[in-house]
Amino acid sequence: MDKLAKLIETVQRHHPEENLDMIERAFAFAREAHEGQLRANGAPYFTHTYATALVLAEWRMPPVVVIAGLLHDVPEDTKHTIKDIMERFGHEVAAIVEGETKLSKLRYQGQERYVENIRKMFVAMTKDIRVIIVKFADRIDNLKTLGVRPREKQLRTAIETLEIYGPIANRLGMGEIKGQLEDLAFPFVHPEESAWVDSLVAATSDTKQVSCALFQKQITEELRSRHIPFLSIDGRMKHRYSLYLKLLRNERDISKIYDLIAVRVVVPDIATCYAVLGIIHQRWKPLKGRIKDYIANPKLNGYRSIHTTVFCEHGEIVEFQIRTQEMHEDAEWGAAAAWRYHERGTKTLPERQLRWVNELVRWQRSITDPKEFLEGLRLEVLRDRILVFTPKGDVIDLPEGATPIDLAYAIHSDIGNHATGARVNGATALYPLDKPLENGDMIEIIVDPKRKGPSSDWLTTVRTNNARGKIRDMLRGNLKLKMASWIGHVTPKKRR
């Protein structure tokens, strides 16, 4: 099909009421502007901006975003300016393209350049989330055509994708975009491991698919016979890179991965989610400890769904994921979801995520050393997060792997400095201070007012920059120990 017709047809499928003239004009403008320029693979440069726009259209982005995709490299690489774009295509398109241009203009080299790039992405995120969405689409096409680049360039781009772009997409709740980015980058970073995962999947997916289809059929019949409404029941294959990470956590044993293919049940409302869970458990025996209610306790990135893993008649083990349509859309598209249905989504992130990004922007301003910045980013910001509770019911968000000490310092530095023990979920036994907490845990920190301060061993087990900084300060003797009252947060140690 003709390139332009294909692009317009893709946009129109989801935004039928839009006036698509402007896409046609932007298409012609970008092609002419990049006339004579070639990509590394020898194709006209326009094939890249076109492919970026097509990815955005496939993500169901509205015309304004698709047009920004077509024009995203114009100010950087051609004689035309942002002003030209504004006059021809209006303020909104110009603003997104300008954000894009700022992101790509970098004065630095090496690690500093890398760090600067990330800093700019964070700042851009707080202003208009569409800039990041276009950046992701741009990166998708760069990864698809990375094969012709020198090995060093391949590694740089692909590693940056796995370390930065993927985790950011994840924290923005854009599961589908994260999966696409990571799966394209994975083979460049770990060619042998990626081939190994492919062969594992090829060897197991046929039988898995058959049993999954059987489960789909059985659950469909079960729901129909009980007149339980549902919107769809599908089997979904796990993304390759996230499967790989899970294999690494499970002795590389694929038989331990229960959600290689999961059965996804989408229903009209929350009450029906729980009804479906009940029906699944009546028919099949659930695996202990594998029922996860992310509706009652959403993940920090907003993910909501109920997961359960069951044994079926023939001994197969299958994971079910139960959710409403809205949760489904949020899980796959997160902060981008609003733009998929409406021309007028909100420019900024939802409150919860905006708070996170703002904190990030504030934090990164205080760090001048690029090494320290990258370290902090990897350790805390880009990890998965967990939510834990204080006895008072305050919710505290921590990076995955965080310990009671991280929590203690998150409440107050004096609590951290005096912590001697912890109890988790009301258990009488003490919980090790260096043991990672789990999402949803309720933690009671036990303090000893007589304690002389933090132990230097804690530095090796804490996960937050906050706790690490405060422990270091204390050990250097920069701060005086103080003991105040933090009613309800802590339990003083009983003295004999």
Residue 138 touches Mn ion, criterion: CB under 5 A: yes
Q: How far apart are CA 46 and CA 73, in angstroms?
A: 9
316 an active-site residue?
no
The residue range among 9-17, 71-79, 318-326, 452-460 that interacts with Mn ion, by the rule CB under 5 A, is: 71-79
Residue 100 touches Mn ion, criterion: CB under 5 A: no
| CB closer to Mn ion out of 156 and 238 | 156
| CB closer to Mn ion out of 8 and 53 | 53
| CB closer to Mn ion out of 51 and 408 | 51
For Mn ion, the nearest residue by Cβ is 138
Describe the chain by its helix, strand, coil percentages, rounded to 5. 55, 10, 30
CB of 141 to Mn ion, least distance (A): 7
CB of 138 to Mn ion, least distance (A): 4
The dihedral of CA 400, 402, 407, 412: what is its sign?
negative
Backbone angles phi, psi at 142, to 5 degrees: -60, -35
The residue from 18, 77, 160, 329 that is catalytic is 77
Residue 259 touches Mn ion, criterion: CB under 5 A: no
* Beta-strand relationship, 285-286 and 292-293: unpaired
Among the listed residues 73, 128, 182, 414, the single contact to Mn ion using CB under 5 A: 73
CB of 99 to Mn ion, least distance (A): 13
CB of 418 to Mn ion, least distance (A): 53
* Residue given tokens 């993304």 in the structure block: 239
CB of 273 to Mn ion, least distance (A): 41
Angle between helices 129-144 and 46-58 (to 10 degrees): 120
> Under rule CB under 5 A, which residues in 287-326 are in contact with Mn ion?
none
The residue from 35, 76, 112, 198 that is catalytic is 76
77 an active-site residue?
yes
DSSP 30: H
Residue 435 identity: K
User: x/- contact string, 439-458, with Mn ion (CB under 5 A)?
Assistant: --------------------
Please, how many CA atoms are within 13 Å of residue 388, restricted to the half-sphere of its CB?
A: 29
The residue range among 16-24, 138-146, 336-344, 427-435 that interacts with Mn ion, by the rule CB under 5 A, is: 138-146
The dihedral of CA 40, 41, 47, 49: what is its sign?
negative
CA angle 148, 161, 253 (to 5 degrees): 100
CB of 114 to Mn ion, least distance (A): 18
Cβ-count burial of 443 within 10 angstroms (0-12 exposed, 13-18 middle, 19+ buried)? buried
Q: How far apart are CA 27 and CA 23, in angstroms?
A: 6
- Count, residues near Mn ion per rule CB under 5 A: 2
- Annotated catalytic residues are 76-77
Q: Which residues bind Mn ion (CB under 5 A)?
A: 73, 138
